[in-house]
């Protein structure tokens, strides 16, 4: 790992997106990991991954956590979701072309799902991609997408209407759109938690080769994408926000003793620890199921739902413990844990909505348990 991570690389002690220099270094780290097949270690070697086992991925994760890095070391949720769907739905030629670009860190991807008229109702997408010879002409708008990564993405992974006249769910496609094509505008969008963007497409010409899964088959591709987004792949590793919070209450004194020594506060800390550890175990279970090739049912949405709701509970208990200090941001003297606690407060609220709201997760869990239906809904295939 020493030849991959620069010796002088330091994670910013305060919340906020990486500045241009740190983002550049993170991209370089990602590409070095990609050269070894470690950036997307579960993907097969023939597509630029490492073909690593779950145990090997766990060790790799622990090594990166030593310097507070996750994998990928830069924001690339779109790459994580598109790579799974490409493995399931793309042709061999498309897999050979698109997967190595992501797995070797050569291209970053934004996932574009939400549109101005609706969020969780993904099947209502109005952005159109109309076939014209060997191209699709794309027009429409996506919003509340992306991330402030100091640089724009290299490509977009998005759902579109490929046949506006076809019935709902039979009129969609999933397509990869290079971000440097003419007719694309990225407009920054300030939100409560972090910077997002709106992306506008005006007569954008995209090669027909970039449509994954076939024309009007996008809803099946979308199910794989959403299964990953809802937590079907699982998650291992520490919750860095919780690590910072526990360290803060142990190292910060009030009335002559560490905050964590107060008996009433210790009871709240125990509740917080239990909440975050149950969430961790749900992620760990799903990670094991994926690598043991156990087909899931409601587990991804169960993990997502619990994480959304426990985040709100934890945020409330942090407020009980720290009072006003919990909502002081990046302020040198008074910001709790260099502003990370305040950052968590905002994140806990906004996290309830993206990736399927809590009500969406409840609905998926019920359908897959067979509640109110004669046939249980099956989970989508993921890789």
For 339, the token pair is: 């502003």
Given 194, 219, 244, the domain boundary residue is 219
Is residue 126 included in any domain, yes or no?
Answer: yes
**Are 207 and 289 contained in the same domain?**
no
**Are 87 and 151 contained in the same domain?**
no
- Distance CA(162)–CA(140), nearest Å, equals 12
pLDDT digits (tens, 9 = 90+) for 292-338: 999 889 999 999 999 999 999 999 999 999 999 999 887 777 888 88
- Distance CA(279)–CA(310), nearest Å, equals 8
- Distance CA(370)–CA(376), nearest Å, equals 4
**Are 244 and 338 contained in the same domain?**
yes
Is residue 5 included in any domain, yes or no?
Answer: no
**Closest C-alpha among 48, 57, 64 to residue 4:** 64
- Residue 341 sits in a domain of what CATH number? 1.20.140.10
**Are 210 and 330 contained in the same domain?**
no
For 142, the token pair is: 């996506």
- Residue 36 sits in a domain of what CATH number? 1.10.540.10
**Are 134 and 182 contained in the same domain?**
yes
pLDDT at 191: 78
- Distance CA(363)–CA(260), nearest Å, equals 39
Number of domains in the chain: 3
pLDDT at 8: 79
pLDDT at 163: 96
Tell me the CB-side half-sphere exposure of residue 273, using CA atoms within 13 A.
10
* Beta pairing partners, 140: 201
- Residue 117 sits in a domain of what CATH number? 2.40.110.10
pLDDT at 17: 64
Intervals of the chain under pLDDT 70 = 16-18, 148, 193
pLDDT at 22: 85
Given 103, 125, 145, the domain boundary residue is 103
pTM of the prediction?
0.92
b/e sequence 103-135, b meaning 16+ C-beta within 10 Å: bbbebbbbbbbbbeeebeebeebebbbeeeeeb
**Are 99 and 113 contained in the same domain?**
no
Domain span including residue 238 = 230-369
Is residue 224 included in any domain, yes or no?
Answer: no
pLDDT digits (tens, 9 = 90+) for 167-176: 999 999 999 9
pLDDT at 31: 96
Is residue 2 included in any domain, yes or no?
Answer: no
pLDDT digits (tens, 9 = 90+) for 114-165: 999 877 789 999 999 999 999 999 999 999 898 767 788 999 999 999 999 9
**Are 321 and 362 contained in the same domain?**
yes
Given 103, 126, 160, the domain boundary residue is 103
**Are 214 and 252 contained in the same domain?**
no
**Are 318 and 255 contained in the same domain?**
yes
Is residue 72 included in any domain, yes or no?
Answer: yes
**Are 72 and 125 contained in the same domain?**
no
């Amino acid at each position: 790992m020493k030849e991959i991570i620069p010796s002088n690389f330091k994670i910013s002690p305060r919340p906020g997106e990486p500045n241009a220099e740190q983002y550049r270094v993170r991209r370089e780290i990602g590409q070095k990991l990609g050269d070894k097949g470690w950036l997307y270690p579960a993907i097969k070697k023939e597509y630029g991954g490492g073909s690593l086992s779950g145990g090997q991925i766990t060790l790799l994760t622990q090594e990166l956590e030593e310097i507070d890095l996750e994998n990928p070391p830069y924001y690339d949720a779109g790459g994580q979701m598109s790579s799974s769907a490409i493995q399931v739905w793309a042709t061999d030629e498309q897999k050979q072309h698109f997967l190595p670009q992501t797995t070797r860190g050569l291209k970053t991807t934004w996932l574009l799902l939400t549109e101005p008229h609706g969020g969780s109702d993904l099947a209502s997408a109005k952005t159109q991609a109309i076939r014209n010879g060997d191209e699709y002409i794309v027009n429409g708008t996506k919003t509340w997408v992306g991330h402030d990564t100091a640089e724009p993405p290299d490509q977009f992974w998005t759902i579109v209407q490929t046949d506006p006249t076809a019935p709902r769910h039979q009129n969609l496609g999933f397509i990869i759109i290079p971000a440097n094509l003419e007719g694309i505008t990225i407009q920054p969008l300030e939100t409560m938690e972090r910077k997002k963007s709106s992306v506008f497409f005006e007569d954008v010409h995209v090669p027909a080769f970039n449509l994954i899964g076939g024309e009007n088959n996008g809803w099946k591709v979308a199910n794989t994408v959403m299964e990953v987004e809802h937590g079907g792949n699982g998650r291992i590793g520490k919750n860095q926000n919780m690590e910072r919070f526990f360290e803060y209450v142990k190292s910060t004194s009030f009335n002559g003793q560490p905050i964590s020594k107060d008996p009433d506060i210790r009871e709240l800390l125990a509740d917080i620890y239990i909440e975050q550890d149950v969430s961790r175990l749900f992620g760990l279970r799903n990670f094991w199921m994926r690598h043991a090739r156990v087909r899931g049912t409601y587990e991804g949405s169960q993990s997502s739902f619990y994480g959304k709701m426990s985040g709100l509970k934890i945020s409330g208990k942090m407020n009980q413990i720290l009072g006003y200090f919990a909502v002081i941001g990046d302020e040198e003297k008074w910001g709790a844990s260099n502003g990370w606690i305040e950052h968590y407060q905002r994140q806990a609220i906004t996290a309830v909505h993206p990736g399927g709201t809590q009500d969406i997760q409840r609905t998926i869990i019920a359908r897959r348990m067979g509640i109110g239906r004669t046939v249980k809904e099956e989970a989508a295939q993921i890789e």
